[in-house]
Chain A
């Protein structure tokens, strides 16, 4: 379309909108229509839609998660035990590196190596890791140091140096359960599976914030991942634990360094290349969650902006529905869970509070809150039982929705706004207490 034509079209649209506004205003004036009451009715209607979406989301996730649970708990085929390299990228992890490596050496799997990539740490990480380097039965532990370039760069170095057809990428501050590889590798009997996402759990459940995060990992992160696992289109292979076919990683170009959520970005690259990604809840990585509110906000801020960056790179996939329906739904659900849902949650609650303050549905606040809490308690109970976790976490669901998620969602909402305006950001390394 030529430039003058574009301008004429825009001018015509603007004029039509102005005319329609004037006509509407006159109509309101003539008929004595109550605008305020109409707005509140609209608010109530929007809240009803929000409630329906909320309930459908819960039911869908619980149902698909349950199907995954009854489908996925096969035994371990010990004949499937190819060579795996465990890549451990570390940067200033001296507080946790030694117990993390010792735990890795206890993995129950016949053929694996450990490759530590020190990403230019400034503390004693390299020295402490090097002290453990050597051969342990069939397992070789190597430590490599490189100039600081970020986690994605460290993982790429590890992928390049690994001499095995499969690699397990993890965080230096995570600890794997001993049977992680045994449970993960059975999925690769299917040649279309390129990656296995593991189950991340919070290890330091020593205060209110970390207990709430422990519940959040089970209910808020693993429950959707379990549902996605049923359709073999997990949309984030989490940084603390992911097993990959190395040739697929090389084919898609490894980790990109242009986002702050390199795990989400890589997952989307693999999915959009036509591969399947599954979830294995018995492949467990224990990780230290941030213990203070500002550190939690810092982490979620990075996640939100990183996911937006990763999704932004695949805008075409979202809008034109390339590839299979499962991939498209997976991308949409990532956008929904990470961005739309927190925004809707905050705005829905604000809308409801406003309606309550204006006297439209004052007593409804209690029933609204009771409904949300009951849904969360049911989801928490379901997820906790399915993961054979401590039932002591379930009561936290009462404050989870109202205080914790509201706080986190506000941070996500503001991070989304910052990403829209391209506000500069840095990686933001979390300080660890070394509780592993």
Chain B
């Protein structure tokens, strides 16, 4: 077998394996994402990060909490 034919065979097999693995990886990614809870579903359940963090005593507290220079 000529060298270029041998190399061609190696490359061809590698390429086909790469494409199959790429499709497999994509399927694995979709499976993994499908198993994760969606962020909006968690928020809808009442677990709001906003209300946990901010104890507002006035309408501007959310902005004013840390915008005072500390020197």
When the two chains form the complex, which single residue of A145, A366, A426 contacts B40, counting CB atoms closer than 8 Å? A426
**Which interface residue of A135, A407, A409, A427 has the most chain B CB atoms within 10 A?**
A407
User: Complex Cα distance A234/B60, Å?
Assistant: 38
Q: B1-37 vs A: 1/0 string, CB under 8 Å?
A: 0101101110110111011011101101100110000
B23 near A410: Cβ-Cβ < 8 Å: yes
A297 near B53: Cβ-Cβ < 8 Å: no
Which partner residue on chain B sits nearest A133 by CB separation? Answer: B66
Which partner residue on chain B sits nearest A126 by CB separation? Answer: B53
A148 contacts the other chain (CB 8 A): yes
Least CB distance from B67 to A in Å reads 4
User: Complex Cα distance A407/B14, Å?
Assistant: 12
A350 near B66: Cβ-Cβ < 8 Å: no
B15 near A145: Cβ-Cβ < 8 Å: no
A144 near B15: Cβ-Cβ < 8 Å: no
Q: Which residues of A lie under 8 Å from residue B11 when comparing CB positions?
A: 365-366, 369, 402
Which partner residue on chain B sits nearest A150 by CB separation? Answer: B39
When the two chains form the complex, which single residue of A121, A122, A145, A411 contacts B65, counting CB atoms closer than 8 Å? A145
Least CB distance from B42 to A in Å reads 9
When the two chains form the complex, which single residue of A145, A297, A353 contacts B54, counting CB atoms closer than 8 Å? A145
User: Complex Cα distance A357/B15, Å?
Assistant: 12
Least CB distance from A369 to B in Å reads 5
Q: Which residues of B lie under 8 Å from residue A120 when comparing CB positions?
A: 48-50, 53
Q: Which residues of A lie under 8 Å from residue B54 when comparing CB positions?
A: 145
B29 near A134: Cβ-Cβ < 8 Å: no
Least CB distance from A151 to B in Å reads 13
Least CB distance from A71 to B in Å reads 39
Q: Which residues of B lie under 8 Å from residue A177 when comparing CB positions?
A: none
Interface residues of B in 29-71 (CB under 8 A from A): 29, 32-33, 38-40, 43, 48-50, 53-54, 62-63, 65-71
B62 near A144: Cβ-Cβ < 8 Å: yes
With A298-B33, A366-B4, A426-B39: A353-B25 Cβ-Cβ less than 8 Å? no
Which partner residue on chain B sits nearest A424 by CB separation? Answer: B38
Q: Which residues of B lie under 8 Å from residue A426 when comparing CB positions?
A: 33, 38-40
A140 near B19: Cβ-Cβ < 8 Å: no
Least CB distance from A225 to B in Å reads 26
B69 near A297: Cβ-Cβ < 8 Å: no
Q: Which residues of A lie under 8 Å from residue B68 when comparing CB positions?
A: 133
Main secondary structure of the interface of B (DSSP, over half): helix
Q: Which residues of A lie under 8 Å from residue B16 when comparing CB positions?
A: 353
With A147-B48, A356-B12, A369-B11: A298-B69 Cβ-Cβ less than 8 Å? no
Which partner residue on chain B sits nearest A350 by CB separation? Answer: B19
A143 contacts the other chain (CB 8 A): yes
B25 near A145: Cβ-Cβ < 8 Å: no
A367 contacts the other chain (CB 8 A): yes
B25 near A293: Cβ-Cβ < 8 Å: yes
Q: Which residues of A lie under 8 Å from residue B67 when comparing CB positions?
A: 133, 142-144
Which partner residue on chain A sits nearest B20 by CB separation? Answer: A410
Interface residues of A in 388-431 (CB under 8 A from B): 402-403, 406-407, 409-411, 414, 426-429
User: Complex Cα distance A86/B49, Å?
Assistant: 24
Q: A285-310 vs B: 1/0 string, CB under 8 Å?
A: 00000000110011001000000000
A36 contacts the other chain (CB 8 A): no
With A133-B70, A135-B70, A366-B4: A297-B50 Cβ-Cβ less than 8 Å? no
A356 near B8: Cβ-Cβ < 8 Å: yes
Q: Which residues of A lie under 8 Å from residue B29 when comparing CB positions?
A: 294, 297-298, 301, 411
User: Complex Cα distance A144/B63, Å?
Assistant: 5
A102 contacts the other chain (CB 8 A): no
A146 near B2: Cβ-Cβ < 8 Å: no
Least CB distance from B34 to A in Å reads 11
A333 contacts the other chain (CB 8 A): no
User: Complex Cα distance A131/B53, Å?
Assistant: 15
Q: Which residues of A lie under 8 Å from residue B49 when comparing CB positions?
A: 120-122, 147-148
A19 contacts the other chain (CB 8 A): no
Q: Which residues of A contact B (CB under 8 A)?
A: 118, 120-122, 126, 129-130, 133-135, 140, 142-148, 161, 293-294, 297-298, 301, 346, 349-350, 353, 356-357, 362-367, 369, 402-403, 406-407, 409-411, 414, 426-429
Further contacts, 7 of them, CB under 8 A, given A363-B2, A365-B12: A143-B65, A144-B63, A145-B54, A294-B28, A366-B8, A414-B26, A429-B39
User: What are 7 contact pairs spanning A and B, CB under 8 A?
Assistant: A120-B53, A144-B63, A148-B43, A148-B48, A356-B8, A406-B22, A426-B38
